Structure 1
């Protein structure tokens, strides 16, 4: 499974991160799309996940994140990968 952050920022007074997840089987794609609480969509073999955050919980807003943004993005991608992997264990 490969998780990438493809977009992030502000939308309608809400912080968001959009993830694309590749390398899943059709059954895994369907399971995640049907069972995740977040906004999801399947586009071919890519699962798109849109997460919205309150300002205080948005992981890419700190002063350190602004300086080391690539590190924070990589950490968020890893954390989402771990979360989805554990979620798929319930499949």
Structure 2
């Protein structure tokens, strides 16, 4: 499984959108059907959009503004771990 952040925003609505690829057909449908987050199947990939409060938004700190690539990579890794653990219940 590969997870990439495709979009994010902080403002009136704080969100991060992920594109998840390299899933089996069963994994793709399981995640789409069971995640509480907003999901869409796009071809063979899954789009997951998560909304955050100001306090939990992952790119809010001053450090994130200067080391954004590091924060994006960490967030992609954390989402990969979350989805992998979620798939264990499949």
Question: What is the CA RMSD across the aligned residues, in angstroms?
Answer: 0.8
For residues 44-90 of structure 1, give each alpha carbon's deviation from its aligned partner in whole angstroms, at most 9, with x where no partner exists.
11100000001111010100000100000000000000000000000
For residues 26-56 of structure 1, give each alpha carbon's deviation from its aligned partner in whole angstroms, at most 9, with x where no partner exists.
0000000000000000011110000000111
What is the Cα deviation at residue 10 of structure 1?
3.4
Count of aligned pairs: 90
Instruction: Supply the distance in 2 between the matched residues of 1:87 and 1:52 (Cα, whole angstroms).
Output: 18
Aligned to 1:24: 23
1:71 correspondence with 2:32: no
Gaps of 5+ in 2: none
Task: Please list, as runs of the form range in 1=range in 2, the aligned pairs for 1:26-65 lying within 5 A after superposition.
Answer: 26-65=25-64
| TM-score normalised according to structure 1 size | 0.96
Gaps of 5+ in 1: none
Give 3-state SS (helix, strand or coil) of 1:52's partner: strand
Q: Which runs of 4+ in 1 moved over 2 A?
A: none
Aligned to 1:7: 7
